[in-house]
């Protein structure tokens, strides 16, 4: 019997974030006004993407040492779902930026970095489809994935911090924690992030199980025909 | 008979709507939070989200059933 508790926990955390995210107290700031509540929904997308890519790297390393196809399946499905959350993050950020920064795509280092990182992970999927042989495909893409992960961290989390960025906490900008004096925003942001991470992992596990079933069906047919 | 009653009710409700609009004026974002209308949005979001998660659970269950069949 599969355990459902963490799925229910994820749903409850997201319900809390929807209710408290819209009704809770937020600091009054110029320009952003009520849109500061987007923090509860835009930022968790990126946390979820990061967690899924991390799971992918861990399973790529595992595949290289074990050679089990199942490890490779977890790695590729994590990237698949991670890219979906990345696109959600980009779209929600563009929408938000359009009304607060005045442009859906200001040439912000964090935006450009995340765009390059997304292309890098799309290249991972293209690379996989380009290779015919199963073991070769799994091994080469696992190595590519291990190299892509630290570059993604540098592009999205390290380089933007060193230069001037519109994002909070970069360059001379202050992080939002400075305005959140009573911690009421953290009390929503952290549960929301955990909730989205759990839901993202759930989606990944569903896709993984489907892929495993497909693999078992494909490998079973030649034997039944013979 | 039913149709005439229905159309009559429709006309009345339409008239009432138009009168209500002209009387109270435009309700803007200033009153959005204080009037409590934001709760409606929260309720809608909760309903949509719960519906989606129930749908996810049914997919999960069907997949478990398939996996059990595969094992046999």
Task: Give the minimum alpha-carbon distance from B48 to chain A in angstroms, rounded to a whole number.
Answer: 11
| pLDDT score of B70 | 86
CA-nearest residue to B36 within chain A is A23
| pLDDT score of A90 | 94
Q: Which of A14, A22, A23 sits opposite B49 (nearest CB)?
A: A14
Residues of A in contact with B64 (CB under 8 A): 2
pLDDT at B66 over 50: yes
| pLDDT score of B16 | 56
Would you say residue A187 lies in a domain? yes
| pLDDT score of B41 | 84
Coil/strand/helix, residue B1: coil
Listed by number, the residues of chain B in 5-64 with a beta carbon closer than 8 Å to a beta carbon of chain A are 38-39, 41-42, 45-46, 49-50, 53, 56-57, 59-60, 63-64
Would you say residue B40 lies in a domain? yes
Question: Structure pTM?
Answer: 0.82
Would you say residue A18 lies in a domain? no
Predicted-complex ipTM score: 0.74
Residue among A50, A74, A53, A71 at smallest CA distance from A62? A71
Q: What is the dihedral of CA A113, A115, A119, A122, to 10 degrees?
A: 120
Total domain count for chain B?
1
The total of other beta-carbon atoms located within 10 Å of residue A185's CB is 23
Task: Give the minimum alpha-carbon distance from B62 to chain A in angstroms, rounded to a whole number.
Answer: 11
| pLDDT score of B25 | 47
Would you say residue B7 lies in a domain? no
Pairwise CB contact (< 8 Å): B70 & A213: yes
Would you say residue B70 lies in a domain? yes
Domain range for A100 is 32-211
Express each pLDDT in A134-185 by its tens digit. 999 999 999 999 999 999 999 998 888 888 778 887 666 666 666 676 788 8
CA-nearest residue to A205 within chain B is B60
| pLDDT score of B36 | 60
Domain range for B49 is 36-72
Express each pLDDT in B25-38 by its tens digit. 444 444 445 556 78
| pLDDT score of A185 | 87
Total domain count for chain A?
1
Which residue's structure tokens are 């290779």? A131
Would you say residue A25 lies in a domain? no
Would you say residue A13 lies in a domain? no
| pLDDT score of A24 | 85
Low-confidence ranges of chain A (pLDDT < 50): 1, 226
Residues of B in contact with A7 (CB under 8 A): 57, 60
| pLDDT score of A124 | 96
DSSP string, B15-65: HHHHHHHHHH----GGGTTTTTTHHHHHHHHHHHHHHHHHHHHHHHHHHHH
Would you give the DSSP letter of residue B72? -
Pairwise CB contact (< 8 Å): B63 & A206: yes
Task: Give the minimum alpha-carbon distance from A15 to chain B in angstroms, rounded to a whole number.
Answer: 7
From first CA to last CA, the distance across chain A in angstroms is 34
From first CA to last CA, the distance across chain B in angstroms is 62
pLDDT at B17 over 60: no
Would you say residue A129 lies in a domain? yes
DSSP string, A178-226: GT-TTSTTHHHHHHHHHHHHHHHHHHHHHHHHHHHHHHHHHHHHHHHH-
Would you say residue B21 lies in a domain? no
Would you say residue B14 lies in a domain? no
């Amino acid at each position: 019997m599969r355990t459902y508790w963490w799925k229910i926990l994820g749903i409850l955390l997201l319900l809390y974030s929807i209710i408290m995210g819209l009704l809770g107290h937020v600091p009054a700031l110029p320009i952003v006004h009520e849109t500061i509540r987007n923090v509860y929904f835009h930022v968790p997308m990126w946390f979820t993407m990061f967690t899924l890519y991390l799971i992918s790297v861990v399973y790529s390393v595992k595949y290289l040492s074990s050679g089990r196809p199942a490890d490779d399946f977890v790695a590729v499905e994590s990237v698949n779902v991670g890219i979906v959350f990345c696109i959600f993050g980009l779209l929600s950020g563009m929408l938000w930026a359009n009304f607060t920064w005045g442009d859906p795509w200001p040439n912000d280092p964090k935006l450009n970095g995340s765009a390059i990182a997304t292309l890098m992970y799309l290249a991972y999927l293209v690379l996989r489809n380009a290779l015919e042989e199963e073991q070769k495909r799994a091994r080469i893409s696992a190595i590519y994935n291990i190299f892509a992960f630290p570059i993604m961290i540098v592009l999205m989390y390290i380089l933007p911090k060193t230069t001037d960025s519109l994002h909070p906490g970069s360059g001379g900008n202050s992080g939002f924690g400075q305005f959140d004096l009573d911690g009421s925003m953290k009390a929503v942001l952290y549960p929301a992030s955990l909730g989205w991470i759990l839901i993202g992992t759930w989606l990944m596990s569903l896709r993984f199980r489907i892929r495993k079933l497909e693999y078992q069906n494909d490998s079973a047919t030649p034997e039944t025909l013979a | 008979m039913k149709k005439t009653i229905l159309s009559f009710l429709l006309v009345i409700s339409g008239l009432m709507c138009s009168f209500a609009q002209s009387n109270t004026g435009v309700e803007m974002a200033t009153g959005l939070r204080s009037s409590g209308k934001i709760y409606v949005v929260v309720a809608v979001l909760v309903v949509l989200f719960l519906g989606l998660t129930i749908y996810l659970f049914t997919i999960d269950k069907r997949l478990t059933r398939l996996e059990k069949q595969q094992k046999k």
